[in-house]
C-alpha cells in the first residue's frame, strides 16, 4: 500500500487504486449496541479490515473518544508545569437531562476554562454543550495554555504500528483544524465566534494568529517523522465558514503554512465533510494538495464533475456518499457511482466513504466496492 498511496501524493499513474474506507464509527456503535454481525464477534477493527480485504484506516492510534481523529495517529499534547487539566464524568447537566456528560477544566495561574460535552447515543462520541472560550477574558487564559504547550511524537507507538501493519501502515497523521474552524467547531462555537469577530475584530484577529502559531509548532513536531500526509481536521461547511470568512481567514492561513509542510517533504489535506459548493471555486488558492471526504450528490451538494473541475492538481480521499452504503439504496446505484468516481479521479484518488460507513450501513457493500476496485486494478 505504501507505494500505491505515495503514487497518489506524487501524481504518478499505473499503480493500483487504494480503497481505504473509515469503518471505526460503524464498528464502535455496533459493538456498544451489541449488534455486530456474528462473523465479527471477537475481532479487533484491523481484523475486520483484513477480513474485508481492504486497506486499514483509523486503526493506528489509540481511541480518542469524541473526536473525528479517532484511531488516527496524532501528536500528544504536553501541557506546561503550571497547567492542570481535570476531567470528570457526570450524569445530567443543568437539570436539563439525565444524559452522561464529560466535564473538562483547565486551571492556570491566569484563570480557568471549562468545557462540557455530552456523550452521544451508545457513548461512542461527544458533542459540545459548553465551550472553553466564552468571552475576551478566556482568550488570554487559552493563550497562556498554548504558550506553555508542546507536542510529542510517540515513536514507540509508531514502531508498534509498523510491526502490526507492515507495508499497510497508514501514512496520514493529524493536525488541528485551521484557526477559524478550530474556533467554530472546537473552542467557541459558531454563534459566539461570529459575535466575537463582529464586536472585537482586532482582538480576534490577534487571537487567530496565536492559534496559527500552534499549527506551526505541530507541523515542526512532525519534521523528520515517518509521515507523508498531514491532515487538517477542518470539518469544512459553507454554512459555518461562508466564502467571505474563507477568503479572509482560511486562504491566507493555508498560504502561510503550506510552504512549511512542503519544505518537510510532506503533503497536506483538509477534511471537507459539509456542503461546499460555494467554497470549491476557492480551494485552488489554498495551496492544499488534496481534500478529504468531499461528499457528492445525493448526500452533498456538488457533482463529481464540479469536484473534478475545481480540484485541479489535487487528489481526493473518499468520494462515495455514505448514504449509498445504506441498505435502502439500490446496489446498482452504488456500483454506478463508484465506477464514475474512479473514471473521474484516478490516479488522484484514495477511494473511501464520505464521511464514513454509517452505523446502519451495510458492511457487505464494502466488499462489493472492493470487488470493483480489484477489477479495475486487474485492468491496469
pLDDT in tens, the chain (380 residues): 889 999 999 999 999 999 999 998 899 899 989 999 999 998 888 889 999 999 888 766 545 444 333 456 778 899 999 999 999 988 877 666 667 999 999 999 999 999 999 998 888 888 999 999 999 999 999 999 999 999 999 888 788 778 888 888 778 889 999 999 999 999 999 999 999 999 999 999 999 999 999 999 999 999 999 999 999 999 999 999 999 999 999 999 999 999 999 999 999 999 999 999 999 999 999 999 999 999 999 999 999 999 999 999 999 999 999 999 999 999 999 999 999 999 999 999 999 999 899 999 999 999 999 999 999 999 98
3-state secondary structure labels for all residues of the chain: CHHHHHHHHHCCCCCCCEECCCCHHHHHHHHHHCCCCHHHCCCCHHHHHHHHCCCCCCCCCCCCCCCCCCCCECCEEECCCCCEEEEEEEECCCCCCCCEEEEEEEEECCEEEEEEEEECHHHCCEEEEECCCCCHHHHHHHHHHHHHCEEECCHHHHHHHHHHHHHHCCCEEEECCCHHHHHHHHHCCHHHHHHHHHHCHHHHHHHHHHHHHHHHHHHHHCCCCCCCEEEECCCCCCCCCCHHHHHHHHHHHHHHHHHHHHHCCCEEEEECCCCCCCCHHHHHHCCCCEEECCCECCCCCECHHHHHHHCCCCEEECCEEHHHHCCCCCHHHHHHHHHHHHHHHCCCEEECEECCCCCCCCCHHHHHHHHHHHHHHHCC
Neighbours of 29 (CB within 10 A): 20
Which pLDDT score, from 0 to 100, does residue 263 have? 97
Which pLDDT score, from 0 to 100, does residue 72 have? 67
Joined together, the cell numbers standing for residue 300 give 452533498
Which residue, among 97, 284, 128, has the nearest Cα to 191 in the 3D structure?
Answer: 128
- CATH class, domain 2-79+149-378, is alpha beta
Which pLDDT score, from 0 to 100, does residue 95 have? 63
Rounded CA gap, 307 and 309, in Å?
6
Contact status, residue 275 vs residue 238, Cβ threshold 8 Å: yes
Contact status, residue 40 vs residue 141, Cβ threshold 8 Å: no
Which residue, among 132, 125, 68, has the nearest Cα to 271 in the 3D structure?
Answer: 68
Contact status, residue 74 vs residue 61, Cβ threshold 8 Å: yes
108 phi and psi angles, rounded to 5 deg? -135, 165
Residue ranges of the domains in the chain?
2-79+149-378, 81-132
Which pLDDT score, from 0 to 100, does residue 65 have? 43
Rounded CA gap, 351 and 369, in Å?
10
Rounded CA gap, 288 and 273, in Å?
16
Which pLDDT score, from 0 to 100, does residue 124 have? 84
Amino acid at each position: 500500500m505504501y507505494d500505491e498511496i505515495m503514487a497518489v501524493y506524487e501524481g504518478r499513474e499505473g499503480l493500483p487504486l487504494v480503497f481505504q474506507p473509515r469503518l471505526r464509527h460503524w464498528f464502535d456503535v455496533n459493538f456498544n449496541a451489541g449488534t455486530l454481525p456474528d462473523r465479527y464477534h471477537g475481532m479487533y477493527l484491523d481484523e475486520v479490515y483484513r477480513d474485508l480485504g481492504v486497506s486499514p484506516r483509523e486503526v493506528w492510534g489509540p481511541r480518542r473518544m469524541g473526536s473525528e481523529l479517532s484511531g488516527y495517529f496524532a501528536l500528544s499534547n504536553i501541557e506546561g508545569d503550571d497547567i492542570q487539566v481535570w476531567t470528570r464524568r457526570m450524569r445530567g447537566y443543568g437539570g436539563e437531562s439525565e444524559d452522561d456528560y464529560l466535564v473538562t477544566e483547565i486551571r492556570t495561574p491566569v484563570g480557568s476554562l471549562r468545557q462540557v460535552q455530552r456523550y452521544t447515543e451508545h457513548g461512542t462520541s461527544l458533542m459540545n454543550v459548553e465551550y472553553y472560550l466564552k468571552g475576551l477574558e478566556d482568550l488570554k487564559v487559552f493563550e497562556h495554555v498554548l504558550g506553555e504547550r508542546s507536542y510529542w511524537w510517540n515513536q514507540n507507538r509508531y514502531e508498534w504500528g509498523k510491526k502490526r501493519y507492515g507495508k499497510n501502515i497508514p501514512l496520514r497523521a493529524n493536525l488541528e483544524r485551521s484557526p477559524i474552524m478550530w474556533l467554530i467547531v472546537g473552542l467557541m462555537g459558531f454563534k459566539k465566534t461570529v459575535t466575537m469577530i463582529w464586536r472585537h475584530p482586532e482582538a480576534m484577529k490577534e487571537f487567530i494568529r496565536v492559534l496559527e502559531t500552534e499549527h506551526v509548532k505541530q507541523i515542526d513536531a512532525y519534521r523528520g517523522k515517518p509521515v507523508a500526509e498531514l491532515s487538517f481536521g477542518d470539518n469544512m461547511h459553507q454554512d459555518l465558514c461562508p466564502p467571505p470568512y474563507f477568503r479572509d481567514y482560511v486562504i491566507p492561513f493555508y498560504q502561510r503554512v503550506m510552504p512549511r509542510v512542503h519544505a518537510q517533504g510532506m503533503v497536506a489535506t483538509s477534511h471537507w465533510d459539509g456542503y461546499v459548493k460555494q467554497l470549491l471555486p476557492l480551494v485552488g488558492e489554498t495551496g492544499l494538495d488534496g481534500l478529504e471526504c468531499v461528499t457528492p450528490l445525493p448526500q452533498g451538494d456538488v457533482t463529481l464533475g464540479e469536484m473534478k473541475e475545481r480540484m485541479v492538481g489535487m487528489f481526493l480521499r473518499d468520494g462515495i456518499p455514505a448514504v449509498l452504503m445504506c441498505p435502502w439504496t439500490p446496489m446498482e446505484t452504488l456500483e454506478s457511482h463508484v465506477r464514475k468516481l474512479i473514471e473521474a479521479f484516478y490516479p488522484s484518488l484514495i477511494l473511501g466513504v464520505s464521511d464514513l460507513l454509517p452505523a446502519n450501513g451495510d458492511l457487505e457493500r464494502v466488499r462489493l466496492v472492493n470487488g470493483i476496485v480489484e477489477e479495475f486494478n486487474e485492468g491496469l
